[in-house]
Amino acid sequence: MSSTTFARFWRTDLTRDCFLSYVPKDDLRSLRLACKILADDVAPALFKSLEVRFSTNTFSRRARMCALDQIGHHVRHLSFVMPHSADTFLPPLLIPGTLEEAIFLYEPRIDNSRPHSSSSSSSSSAASKYGSWEMNDLLVKQYPPLFHAATNVDVFFRALSAMPGLRHLHVSCPGQLAGQRYRKDIVDYALISLRLAVEAANPAQLETLTLAPIHPLAIFYLRPQISVGSLPSSTRVWRRIKTLNVRMESFRYGRDQPSDHLKILHSYLQTLQSLENFRFEWLGDKGPCPLSLHTEPCTSRPTPLDCSQACPDSSTKSPCRPLKFRRLKAMHLSNATFDAHQASAFIMSHRKVLHEFQFNRCHLRSGSWDDALAPLTRIVGNDNWKQKQEEVMDVPIMLSPVDEKSELECVHEHLWDDVFRKSKGFQTLRKMSLKTKGLLPEQVRRLLRNARVAWA
């Protein structure tokens, strides 16, 4: 290839980006160091995906943060990895000289750095990071430096602010044991700082969120509402999420088991109202359907009531409200168990927006798959879809009147609380037509010449 041909090839954005997408990262690093002109074109492909394995010095080194400021505008996909280990486990906080446990209520603050112990030199006018100097002293002496790095929201905010073009955030927290579900862990404090940093940085292009793998309690710390450090404006960023991929570690559930993890998951999904693509997979044993938790027996209140004057509906209604995704197009559920009526109700309630759904390695507790997919027969008007397991075809657009309204009656029904408002402009034209109905043409011209019609 001649130099002229190569220059023409390299200056074409489409061909150059396609070529760089197939080049290994090691070769991209070498190519970036070969020439300054090539470095400007290689940098977007080389730093498009960034993986951060959080440790004590991840965001505290000045040279590393300066490098992030230079390449951060190229980052589109950020992977935040922090596995559970023995170093992330937090023991009880004890008062010195006694065996009593100190009560620590964490309130994240963005304007402070790592605190100093009482024996070190520090400014007396500096504010306390953890509420009081006594609590600061206990935490510095008894908790490892990794904890103080995880609670330093300032460095998290600086790192996220350096990536204004972020589109995909991937959070991975593997390795939590089943016996440590309700214990304090440094990973949870890091998730709080990450969530607050994302909400403060407010990346405008962030629309994809992946939580894989994730422990059940992580949803509580990533939830923007009724969580640690949450504000009324915390949901502003998360409402723009269009794609959500979750791979959560399963846990035991049932009437005799705690249901707080399921309720937290349900409330978290309620905050993501703009979802278009949703994927959920239980890791390990099969879990319930996350989209039908309001109908799960374990999330409902206990049925027996001793008080005879109590409201009878309070013992039967679930405290969880049904999920409503007005823009959901695709739903994929893996390794779950549910009832046929749960799948049928969800498909029917989202019949106008849902284009694709897939159940992989799912088990029905009651009913059959014909019952679960019964809304398809009602929507289409026949059961021809049962003849083939999978069918792909090109369907042309048909602009013709439909005589049989009974087949598409469910399609024309309103979804949830939809209300169709009448147009003000149409009402104005209708009033004007009624006034001019019995007038002569000259009178109509005179009326329209002097009338003022407002168009909405």
Helix (H, G, I), strand (E, B) or coil at 243: strand
What gap in Å lies between CA 252 and CA 282, rounded to an integer?
A: 12
Residue at a domain's end among 14, 30, 47: 47
Looking at the domain assignment, is residue 133 inside a domain?
A: yes
Q: Is residue 417 part of a domain?
A: no
Q: What CA dihedral angle connects 186, 191, 194 and 195, to 10 degrees?
A: -150
User: What is the total count of domains within the chain?
Assistant: 2
Return the closest-CA partner of residue 83 out of 107, 51, 109, 61: 51
> What is the arithmetic mean of pLDDT over 6-20?
84
According to the model, what pLDDT value does residue 395 have? 46
Task: Say if 143 falls within a structural domain.
Answer: yes
Residues 86 and 27 in one domain: no
Q: Which pLDDT score, from 0 to 100, does residue 447 have?
A: 64
Regarding whether 195 and 180 lie in a shared domain, the answer is: yes
The number of beta carbons lying within 10 Å of the beta carbon of residue 345 is 18
Same domain, 32 and 83: no
Residue 119 falls within a domain, yes or no?
no
Residues, the chain: 456
Residue 206's nearest CA partner among 155, 248, 171 is 171
Residues 6+ apart with CB under 8 A from 132: none
Indicate the average pLDDT of the chain. Answer: 81
Q: Give a yes or no: residue 35 inside a domain.
A: yes
* Residue 358: pLDDT band with limits 50, 70, 90: very high
- Does the pLDDT of residue 275 top 70, yes or no? yes
Task: Name the domain boundary from 194, 212, 241.
Answer: 241
Please confirm whether the linkage preceding 396 is cis (ω < 30° from 0). no
DSSP string spanning 199-239?
Answer: HHH--TT--EEEEEEE-TTHHHHH-SSSSTT--TTTHHHHT
Cα gap 91→113, rounded to integer Å: 23
> Is residue 84 in a domain?
yes
pLDDT in tens, 45-77: 999 999 999 999 999 899 999 999 999 999 999
- Once rounded to an integer, what is the mean pLDDT over residues 314-332? 79
Give the least confident one: 144-158, 174-188, 252-266, 285-299.
252-266
Please give the backbone phi and psi of residue 89, each rounded to the nearest 5 degrees, phi first: -75, 135
Sequence-distant (≥ 6) Cβ neighbours of residue 31 within 8 angstroms: 23, 38, 42
**pTM, entire model:** 0.80
Which of 168, 256, 164 is closest to 203 using CA atoms? Answer: 164
**10 Å Cβ neighbour count for 351?**
16
Q: Are residues 52 and 174 in the same domain?
A: yes
Q: Are 244 and 281 in contact (CB under 8 A)?
A: no
Q: Are residues 3 and 140 in the same domain?
A: no
Residue 346: CA count within 13 A, CB half-sphere: 28
What strands lie across the sheet with 77-81, from one edge to the other? 49-53, 77-81, 168-172, 208-214, 243-249, 277-283, 330-334, 356-360
Identify whether residues 175 and 231 lie together within a single domain.
yes
Q: Is residue 135 part of a domain?
A: yes
| Phi–psi pair at 72, nearest 5 degrees | -65, -30
How far is residue 244's CA from residue 139's CA, in Å, rounded to a whole number? 36
Question: How many CB atoms sit inside 10 A of residue 92's CB?
Answer: 12
Q: Are the CB atoms for 336 and 287 separated by under 8 Å? A: yes
203 and 171 both lie in a single domain:
yes
Task: Report d(CA 158, CA 53) in Å as an integer.
Answer: 16
Torsion (CA) 379, 243, 285, 223 in degrees, nearest 10: -120
60 shares its domain with 186:
yes
Q: Which of 89-98, 198-207, 221-230, 351-360 has the highest mean pLDDT?
A: 198-207
Give the per-residue pLDDT at 159.
96
| Average pLDDT of span 210-219 | 93
Domain-embedded: residue 169: yes
Domain that holds residue 25: 1-47
Same domain, 22 and 59: no
Burial of 431 (0-12, 13-18, 19+ CB in 10 A): exposed
Residue type, 241: I
Mean pLDDT of 217-228: 89
> Quick check: 422 pLDDT over 70?
no
Lookup: tokens for 362: 């799912």
My answer on whether 52 and 38 are in the same domain is no
Check whether residue 13 and residue 161 sit in a common domain: no
Q: Are residues 39 and 87 in the same domain?
A: no
Q: Which of 212, 241, 270 lies at the terminal end of a domain, its last residue?
A: 241
For range 115-134, the mean pLDDT: 58
Neighbouring C-beta atoms of residue 201, cutoff 10 Å: 20
Q: Round to whole Å and give the CA distance between 139 and 380.
A: 63
pLDDT of 36 over the 90 cut: no
Task: Specify the pairing of strand 356-360 against strand 363-364.
Answer: unpaired
For residue 312, say if its preceding peptide bond is cis, omega within 30 degrees of 0. Answer: no
- The segment with the largest mean pLDDT, out of 5-19, 154-168, 245-259, is 154-168
* Residue 227: Cβ within 10 Å count: 19
Distances (CA, A) of 6 to 2, 16, 43: 6, 10, 19
pLDDT at position 119 is: 47
Of the candidates 302, 332, 322, 325, the one whose C-alpha atom is nearest the C-alpha of residue 314 is 302
Give me Rg for the CA atoms of the chain: 29
Max mean pLDDT range (205-209, 300-304, 396-400): 205-209
